[in-house]
Structure 1
């Protein structure tokens, strides 16, 4: 009887997990990105503090929102080459957005800039690219803030899906972003 009870509990837990996963998958790929917030509510700059694992949305120099973030799997130091799993440091711009990203929505950071390309060329390596602010990989949004337990991206800046929807609506293309150590 105990064995039957354990199996029943395990099957019930699996059913609940699959129901949540199915609901999450139904939301993924809906193809609808959030609308942009009114201009007066939008950020005019972004600031990332890698050591504090924080992204701030700024308007007129004041934080209007702050988010805990995950970084590249090797977060210390500036990104030097493709594949080093580092998040770059420096001044960049949000230059385009992807509503059909493999991670729930994404905003592209203009890495590499001229200095990054020159450093990589001097070292004889590719600087890499495709550095984004993004949500969780599609289908994994149910993880929520658990993703903050470790740095797991390939150099990007990750937030929860709900946070990414908010960021998407508040950050227009052309917004400057400063990433500090």
Structure 2
């Protein structure tokens, strides 16, 4: 219950701060130092980088083709919802660079087992699709991933510098 209350308070803090600061692309992230929380708000296609409860930078994101709702099974084109960890970085990703999200967690695995389905995995924050004919800005206007969270390569370089392995991520509806 305490974790749920803390998550709800974090969500409210991020939402209020986002309303007060509607700019999604502030100055470069390189001088901001390390972040201690990443928050994704799926309904707003937004990723926020926080430290000590304060938003340091926000990005417009692309997600899976069917972003509404929690990811239930492999191939459903959904981005999961809940609290996870950014557990490792992959510098040789097929989508520029990527940071792995620890989906599925134990709750996701239990749900999938009860439903007799595979929960899927390999959900990442990553850069652009190198095969896309669209510019980075055009591609970000569409949900095109298989459930991952996509930002431009330039933005991925910023995030890469300020997000360490082990940083928590909360993914909200």
Shorter-chain TM-score bucket reads 0.7 to 0.9
User: TM-score, with normalisation over the residues of structure 1?
Assistant: 0.76
More strand by share: 2
Matches within 5 A, 1:168-179: 168-179=160-171
Give the deviation of 1:92 after TM superposition: 0.2
Instruction: For residue 99 of structure 1, give the secondary structure of its aligned residue in structure 2.
Output: strand
Map of 2:172 onto structure 1: 180
CA shift digits 1:33-54 (9 cap, x unpaired): xxxx989701110000000000
Aligned pairs (5 A) from 1:44-63: 44-63=36-55
**Residue pair 1:109, 1:133 contacting (<8 A) in 2 also:** yes
Larger radius of gyration: 1
Greater CA drift, 75-84 or 132-141: 132-141
Secondary structure, counterpart of 2:108 in structure 1:
helix
Counterparts of 1:180 and 1:59, CA distance in 2: 18
The 5-angstrom pairing of residues 111-126 of structure 1 reads: 111-126=103-118
Shift of 1:137: 1.9
SS in 2 for 1:51: helix
How many residues are aligned here? 145
User: What secondary structure, in the 3-state scheme, does the structure 1 residue paired with 2:169 have?
Assistant: strand
Deviation at 1:144, TM superposition (A): 1.2
Query: Tell me, which stretches of 5 or more residues in structure 1 are unaligned?
Result: 1-36
Greater helix share, structure number: 1
Which residue among 69, 79, 82 is the counterpart of 2:61? 69
Residue of structure 1 in register with 2:18 after alignment: none
Match of 1:29 in 2: none
